[in-house]
Structure 1
Amino acid sequence: MGHLGNASAPAAYDRIGVGYRRIRRPDPRLDALIGSALRGARTVVNVGAGAGSYEPAGAEVTAVDPSQVMLDQHPGRRKVKASASRLPFADGSFDAAMAVLTVHHWPDPHQGLAELRRVARRQVVFTWDPAHRPQLWMTEDYLPEIRALEESRFTPLAEVVEALDAHTVLPFRIPYDFTDGFQVAYWRRPELYLDPAVRQASSTFATLSPEVVEPAIERLRADLASGEWHRRNADLLDRESVDYGYRLVVAGERPTAG
């Protein structure tokens, strides 16, 4: 999931994509939400497909990604190395187009979203709203550089909705035991951020320099050891899920009933 971007994005995922599937395991609750939005689609193009997370079972899926490392991890048979801004398909080629945490990597998000509308009759886009609050404690207390980076590259939710002429926007609260290790996955399991392999599977951590990340991680390590993190975040410790601004945007043909 998530890798059609500027000129450096394919190279970045060629580097960080190694071992990606071990950390980024599709979560069944997000899978159910995306699957419901794709219900009835027989042919699907997954733009920024990565390793193939959240693709609907039973559909004929074509995976598109600019990173060969990511495509090599994709289990499907139909794989195309291409950019979101220039999808090599005829108008209306698919019942649905899906894009999961990838629009922020595209060099021209509006062109990419227009391409989704061109090649498919339904569009299903999972993204993050940079205007949403609260944000993860990691950005508040340890790495404000993450917030600056994310807010600079994520297209505002309202613009995604407008570009797709979307009819549905569904919130997705991140469960405390979320299995897909993107940036906010470990909001109630802070010790996992100490694992370099976990950080490497997140494009945000991997984009920031070690000189920025490592001192912040050492502060987190110290706060966990002293109990300061638990005191500061006591309100999170008994919560089952938190809304951190992740949204599923659905446009075009509506899912079939059933």
Structure 2
Amino acid sequence: MATYNSIGVTYAQTRRPDPRIAATIRRALGGAATVINVGAGTGSYEPPETVVAVEPSAVMIAQRPGHAARAVEATAEAIPLADDSADAAMALLTVHHWSDLEAGIGELRRVARRRVVVFTFDPDVNHRFWLLDEYLPEAAAFDSTRAVPIARLAALMGGARVETVPVPHDCTDGFLAAFWRRPEAYLDPRIRAGISMFAQAGEDVVRSGLHRLADDLSSGRWHRRHADLLGRESLDVGYRLLVAEL
């Protein structure tokens, strides 16, 4: 929570939901009439069927739009709701922040009647992303300490279907790998402020890598090295959707 009480100030501006990813998440919810959003942040990707949002950061809750579902300030590990409170529970790009993954997934399964949907990243794929692999290996090493292996997550969910979620080249949600074809974005401190890895790794860890990226962009080296990316419409950079039927 401390991270999001500090980086969350501009989150609503830099982390706008991407409509293509939103459509994928809605399909995964399978027509649920009621939804609980856990680790809800500012409300990105919340469907209108959301009845309660659970979020530990007051800074994030304060940025939720006026029409959003009621939010309770609580953690995933201790959701203050009764058993079977909604058809579905969802947790989007949040499980790697939880202090007790097993407890958090157990709570999702407890409050949902029919389905649990988790949007996350596969560290085995995500950490091969060029930004981490070529410029920020120290940050990737730090990120590995919190990343959740997909197989472990699926097992905790009681068995889950795993779906690859390619990231479009013009993704509007500024998560870590969203700018895979727009490398200049990583030099923008406002963009970095909405990406938890930068805040948690610390400026000293990322400074030299960002300087090298700036040099490679200025010289054209990045574009020569990654010419194969420039014509792509989307890319698998490790994001996964897990769906468990209860």
Q: TM-score, normalised by structure 2?
A: 0.95
Find 2:64's aligned residue among 57, 74, 77: 74
Task: Indicate if the aligned counterparts of 1:100 and 1:127 stay in contact, CA closer than 8 A.
Answer: yes
- Is it true that 1:174 corresponds to 2:164 in the alignment? no
- Is it true that 1:125 corresponds to 2:115 in the alignment? no
2:154 matched to which residue of 1? 161
Change (3 A) 1:158 1:216: same
Task: Give 1:134 deviation, angstroms.
Answer: 7.0
1:256 matched to which residue of 2? none
Task: Indicate if the aligned counterparts of 2:37 and 2:50 stay in contact, CA closer than 8 A.
Answer: no
1:38 matched to which residue of 2? 29
Q: TM-score, normalised by structure 1?
A: 0.91
1:48 matched to which residue of 2? 39
Matched residues, number:
243
Task: Indicate if the aligned counterparts of 1:105 and 1:153 stay in contact, CA closer than 8 A.
Answer: yes
SS at match of 1:132: helix
- State the distance in 2 between where 1:16 and 1:198 align: 11
- After superposition, the C-alpha distances for 1:134-182 in whole angstroms (9 at most, x for unaligned) are 7211111110022212221111100111111234211101111111000
Consecutive unaligned residues in structure 2, runs of 5 or more? none
Change (3 A) 1:73 1:133: closer
1:214 matched to which residue of 2? 207
Q: CA RMSD in A?
A: 1.3
- State the distance in 1 between where 2:236 and 2:184 align: 21
% identity of equivalent residues: 53
Change (3 A) 1:18 1:235: same
- Which residue type is aligned with residue 35 of structure 2? V
Task: Indicate if the aligned counterparts of 2:127 and 2:140 stay in contact, CA closer than 8 A.
Answer: no
- State the distance in 1 between where 2:18 and 2:128 align: 21
- State the distance in 2 between where 1:216 and 1:152 align: 20
Task: Indicate if the aligned counterparts of 2:126 and 2:239 stay in contact, CA closer than 8 A.
Answer: no
Consecutive unaligned residues in structure 1, runs of 5 or more? 1-9, 254-258
